[in-house]
Amino acid sequence: MQKAEEFVYPKPPDEPRFYWDRMLLGSMSVEHQTEESKISAFLSGTFASNKGFVKPYGIAVHQGRIFVSDPPGRDVMMFDPAHYLFKSLTSDPNVLLVKPFGLETDAQGNLFVLDQTLKDVKLFDRDGNYLRTIKPDAQLSMPTDLAITPDGKTMYISQTGGVSESMHVIFQFDTETGKLLKTLGKRGRGDLEFNLPKGIDLDKNGLLYVVDSGNFRIQVIDPDKEVMVRTFGQVGQRLGTFSRPKDVAVDKDGNIYVSDAAFGNFQIFNPEGQLLLFVGERGSDLKPGTYMLNSGIAVDEDGRVLMADQFFRKVDIFRPARVGKEQGFLGVKEKITDEEYMKIKQEQQNGQ
Residue 44 DSSP label: H
Does the pLDDT value for residue 336 go beyond 90?
no
- At residue 31, the pLDDT reads 77
Sign of CA dihedral 203, 204, 205, 206: positive
pLDDT digits (tens, 9 = 90+) for 244-254: 999 999 999 99
pLDDT digits (tens, 9 = 90+) for 184-209: 999 999 999 999 999 999 999 999 99
pLDDT digits (tens, 9 = 90+) for 280-335: 999 999 999 999 999 999 999 999 999 999 999 999 999 999 999 999 999 987 67
d(CA 348, CA 352): 6
Residue 90 DSSP label: G
Q: Which amino acid is at 204?
A: K
d(CA 325, CA 59): 21
pTM of the model: 0.92
d(CA 271, CA 279): 18
Q: Please, what is the average pLDDT of the chain?
A: 92
Does the pLDDT value for residue 243 go beyond 50?
yes
**CA dist 196 → 152, 159, 162, 238, 282 (Å):** 26, 8, 7, 22, 24
Does the pLDDT value for residue 38 go beyond 60?
no
